[in-house]
Amino acid sequence: MYNIKLSRPCIDSECIEQVVSVLKSGWLSQGSKVFEFEDAIKKQLNIDYSLAVNSATSGLHIALLALGVGQGDEVIVPAFTWVATANVVELCGAKPVFVDIDLETFNTNPNKILLKITKKTKAIIIVHLFGKPFDVILLRSFLPTRIYIIEDAACALGARVNGNYCGTTGDVGVFSFHPRKSITTGEGGMVITKNRDIYDRMNMLRNHGQDTRHKENSPSFMFDCPIVGFNYRMTDFQAALGLPQLKKLNAVIEYRKSLAVLYRKRLSNNSGIYLPNEENFETHAWQSYVISVMPRSIRDEIMLKLAEEGVETRPGTHAVHTLTYYKNTYNLDPGNFQNAYEAFRTTISLPLHNLMTFKDVYYISDRLMEIIDAIQ
């Protein structure tokens, strides 16, 4: 019987050798491998500053704090995203202001962003959901200069729009290395920026508030802590796991694209399935392959029957405004953001990873079509 996982990390012998080497070295916390990983990301994305962290959530948190987001501020976030995007705003004492999405892309609707801007708007978190690029430069052209843009590019390492890498065109970009991503460090993330002041502040926030810019050559020297910070550091063995994978990032994305193209070819004849696409001006990262099925009433039955056929799936992501905390705190109803709610109820994330074969895509597509035909 088939057993096709939603996602599987691609860990080869070089990754294992690199991790074992670090374990044998005796230096396991943040050290030379982390700094090497940061440098490799800078070169990959042609960016000035990068910081490895223990998760993308931590990266988003220190990005907001470094930009001065706090009590009384508003931060615009998508209503359809992983809950961490909104949680970090709450953790800063600010208010998340939800915006509905475009069902064609699952990304935030730019026009609806502009309608949500007030005098209290301090920042906007743009999510490149499932690896689909959002045009940050175009949005920036309509914004007051006082508003910061943070790119939640957790799913979008290597994605581009009009030649620009996702994560590099806002004030701060954040990536994830969770096992469902194209490259993984188990848990972990990376924060990037072009601004030295933002970098310095995030660097302190990452490491207990310590200011490491000035060091005295004395055995009794300890770094000063001018601010309160966190322990959001990445370990060296995590970085060692990510480095060999990063070298293959372009090939990883290309293979995922080939699987996505085959999915489209196999499923495009069914009018009840909406398929993701890649425009000619963008490079999709294909972190996930997320479809929508209509009518919405058949979504859960499809997922259950695919599981019986050995195919693991899950919904696209959260409609955050329907989660208990946000629903109760801000008195929100599902219909407040209709597209996000619709996406939550109709999306299915199909298996997509670099250990899949074209044969797997044929199998999944055939089973999906058979199930839909049988239900309808």
CA max distance for the chain? 76
CA 291 – CA 268 distance, rounded (Å): 11
Among 112, 122, 181, 305, the active-site one is: 181
CA 143 – CA 250 distance, rounded (Å): 32
> Which residues are within 8 A (CB) of 158 and not within 5 positions of it... i.e. 6 or more apart?
44, 165, 182, 249, 250, 252, 253, 283, 285
CA 71 – CA 95 distance, rounded (Å): 8
Q: Is 119 an active-site residue?
A: no
Helix (H/G/I), strand (E/B), else coil: 80? strand
Q: Is the peptide bond before 226 cis (omega within 30 degrees of 0)?
A: no
Please, what sign has the CA dihedral across residues 306, 257, 135, 137?
positive
CA 157 – CA 175 distance, rounded (Å): 6
CA distance readout (Å), 353 to 109, 217, 336:
28, 49, 34
> Active-site residues: which are they?
181
